[in-house]
Structure 1
Amino acid sequence: MASETPPNFWGDMPEEEYYTSQGVRNTKSYFDTPNGKIFTQSFLPLDKKVKATVYMTHGYGSDTGWLFQRICIYYSTWGYAVFAADLLGHGRSEGLRCYLGDMEKIAATSLSFFKHVRYSEEYRDLPAFLFGESMGGLATMLMYFQSEPEMWTGLIFSAPLFVMPENMKPSKVRLFMYGLLFGLADTWATMPDNKMVGKAIKDPEKLKIIASNPRRYTGPPRVGTMRELSRMCQYIQDNFSKVTAPFLTVHGTSDGVTCPTSSQLLYEKASSPDKSLKIYEGMYHSLIQGEPDENAEIVLRDMREWIDERVERYGKK
């Protein structure tokens, strides 16, 4: 008989006990938006003064629970108040599973929660950073474009999706044929599935844990999702020069899900006077949850150095 999946990636330990053992306090709640309820979490350091806030967005088919929250916990233990939301159609948020037919609306929905916290009395005077992993990097960039100038102190991207890899690009013929159905096919889960999770995770033990996430979307991609991701990648590439905020973008050379070109083009074309690019030789897509610990530690150290330095540099009002 197959063993039951434990309620959390760490096993059966009660949540509060686990978070306390990690040095953070976790809260979960739902946030009402005009587009539906989204599930949100916060991770606050237990024994450190909060020096800035970080707003995190997960990748395609994932959610803010399970292993993604490891990233949230790391940042929190460095002295950051971390807020994360399941994208519409993902995890415990409302919406058709993994349907991303309107990415700008999906980005705006998470952004409404992030702004609510960003401008709250407790946090409005602190530096604030957006963080996006994989397709969450694309959503994060859209949030940045939708925000008032100067709202964000900096941006952090982990293996962002700004350039569609050739093997992920939807066939124009297929999209055209579905388009003839007057949008009826937009939500159909009928696009070719390239089984991305195996190409994202290098560490076999971590792959097992990630694959056992009960909230992970495992169906084929929806027609409208692939159409929209393709369109939005082009939109972002056309607007790289509008990026003026300080940013760090990181990518592995052996990423089988998003092209390292995504990070390289952003670095080359952005107008930001303060921009940083880190490329890791031989690393896969999931740089923090999916690499062996010694590799993940290199990435985390680089991220920590970067964000701590920006808080020092830009945080004094």
Structure 2
Amino acid sequence: MPLHNPLWEVSEPYLTAAGVYKAHDPTYGRYLLPHHKPHGSLVDHAEVKHTFRRVFLKPAAQFKTWAEAYETTDIVHSEDVQLTEDEIAAGHKHGGRWIFYSVWEMESEPEGGWEEGGKGRGKDLILIHGGVLDGLRIADPPGLSDYGLRYCPHVLHFLKAGFRVILPDLPSYGRSTGFVSLVTSEHTNCASVNSYIPSLNLLPSAVHTVLKDVAKWDIESGRGQRQVFLGGASMGGWTVMYYALKFPPAIIEAEDDSPSVDAAKDVKGPVPQVLGAFVLCPMVEVSKESRPSGVIEYLAHGIKYFAGVLPLAKAVRGNVSDDPRVEEDFFADPLCYHGLLRVGTGLSLLDGMTELHKNAEQIDIPIRIVHGTADRATSHHGTERLFPRLPHEDKSLQLYDGYEHVMLKVGIDEADDEKRQRVLADMRSWLVERS
């Protein structure tokens, strides 16, 4: 199929629904793309073990309503993968709707010894991709061009403290599939194209699905279930916060580290045991520099029902960093989405931010939020307004003076990298203290 061809992307849902077209590869060619060259240092690291997995959900057509399809976390199959051509065909046998993720760990003490005393051993850290993670790229809307392995430049920082790191690709990003076409009396517009999110409920549901699969995988392998920290930036920050609202963490019993009786009512799989969340530059409110004009938003509302996949708005492009290397690296990574913000995705973002503000008092989890005061993509003022409403006693907010949306920009030398190291040290210290 034509890649990122707007005319095709608008037409494809109708062709699929009519039964005249079916995509051979529901990731639209992303599944088999080679790793971005800068990620090779982690992928090929001699001391680091990685596992690629995918977990399958029921196809959208098997649900009666959109809400059920968006929010399902029922796993129909999961497996280790090697990113081969035959896995695409095999994926159709399990329904063709999957979430890809990777797991990274150091099984033995690294050269030079464990950092932070290895206090992260036995704990997981799941990092949810957002707008600009490795700092060498630029995004369209926050988080709408990314995928999990963009965290590669930072993973060793946590592995060396003993943490195991989990990197999912959210639905319609990276090597995960999008939302398969479905036509009902209410909606006629849902495609599997790159960077299309008809509802942000897809995102926390995908995270919950991955955490359930990791727990099941560990238990079946005789390793035992691990407790997990949540981490995310930009749209990933929104996802982490809404996850805590939608899937309240299980209460961990002091005696045996098992879920409470109430949490154990989830009989369809192990209950993720969440210890807390570290959130960077969350998508709580769009900065005035990046929000589309009222005319664009009005137009988007008018066409979302028949052309929701249409790329329309510039959004945050050019507003995440003043370092030109950011944009250069972004366009060099073929697995990133290089197009404009899609109509349906943009409106879902606005709805998601509204829901987060409405329900902030339900985000009851140990949490630390950091945000840059020079962020031109997501507003630190919105974060400041939301923070006092978070109910947990273990909460903190740190504003980093002069930081842009790219809080983890890899520097060209040690001095230039100091800002990134400061944020990473903040994050790891917070995690270690709660391990």
Which category of TM-score, normalised to the shorter sequence, fits these structures? 0.7 to 0.9
Identity within the alignment, %? 23
Give the equivalent residue in structure 2 for 1:159: 281
Q: In the alignment, is residue 169 of structure 1 matched against residue 291 of structure 2?
A: yes
Taking structure 1 as reference, are residues 301 and 108 closer, same or farther at Cα in structure 2, changes over 3 Å only?
Answer: same
Q: In the alignment, is residue 83 of structure 1 matched against residue 83 of structure 2?
A: no
Q: In the alignment, is residue 263 of structure 1 matched against residue 383 of structure 2?
A: yes
Q: In the alignment, is residue 193 of structure 1 matched against residue 345 of structure 2?
A: no
Taking structure 1 as reference, are residues 259 and 149 closer, same or farther at Cα in structure 2, changes over 3 Å only?
Answer: same
Of 216, 220, 230 in structure 1, the residue corresponding to residue 340 of structure 2 is 220
Partners of 2:39 and 2:153 lie apart in 1 by: 14
Structure 1 residue 160: deviation in Å?
0.9
Q: In the alignment, is residue 53 of structure 1 matched against residue 124 of structure 2?
A: yes
Q: In the alignment, is residue 106 of structure 1 matched against residue 207 of structure 2?
A: no
Partners of 1:180 and 1:208 lie apart in 2 by: 35
Give the equivalent residue in structure 2 for 1:314: none
Taking structure 1 as reference, are residues 250 and 202 closer, same or farther at Cα in structure 2, changes over 3 Å only?
Answer: farther
Give the equivalent residue in structure 2 for 1:115: 212
Structure 1 residue 207: deviation in Å?
4.7
Of 364, 369, 380 in structure 2, the residue corresponding to residue 249 of structure 1 is 369
Partners of 1:46 and 1:128 lie apart in 2 by: 17
Unaligned runs of 5+ in 1: 312-317
Aligned residues: 299
Structure 1 residue 171: deviation in Å?
4.3
Partners of 2:40 and 2:276 lie apart in 1 by: 37
Partners of 1:206 and 1:102 lie apart in 2 by: 28
- Maintained 8 Å contact 1:117/1:123: no
Give the equivalent residue in structure 2 for 1:69: 152
Q: TM-score, normalised by structure 1?
A: 0.85
Q: In the alignment, is residue 93 of structure 1 matched against residue 176 of structure 2?
A: yes
- Maintained 8 Å contact 1:241/1:269: yes
Give the equivalent residue in structure 2 for 1:315: none
Partners of 1:285 and 1:182 lie apart in 2 by: 28
What are the Cα deviations for residues 208-264 of structure 1, in whole angstroms up to 9, with x where unaligned?
A: 334421111111111111111011101101111112211111111111211112432
Partners of 1:201 and 1:177 lie apart in 2 by: 29
Of 86, 100, 105 in structure 2, the residue corresponding to residue 44 of structure 1 is 105
Q: In the alignment, is residue 235 of structure 1 matched against residue 318 of structure 2?
A: no
Counterpart residue type for residue 421 of structure 2: E
Structure 1 residue 182: deviation in Å?
6.6
Structure 1 residue 304: deviation in Å?
1.2
Partners of 1:123 and 1:259 lie apart in 2 by: 40
3-state SS of paired residue (1:167): coil
Q: TM-score, normalised by structure 2?
A: 0.63
* Alignment RMSD (CA, Å): 2.5
Partners of 2:346 and 2:367 lie apart in 1 by: 27
Unaligned runs of 5+ in 2: 1-32, 60-96, 110-117, 131-142, 179-192, 251-272
Structure 1 residue 74: deviation in Å?
2.1
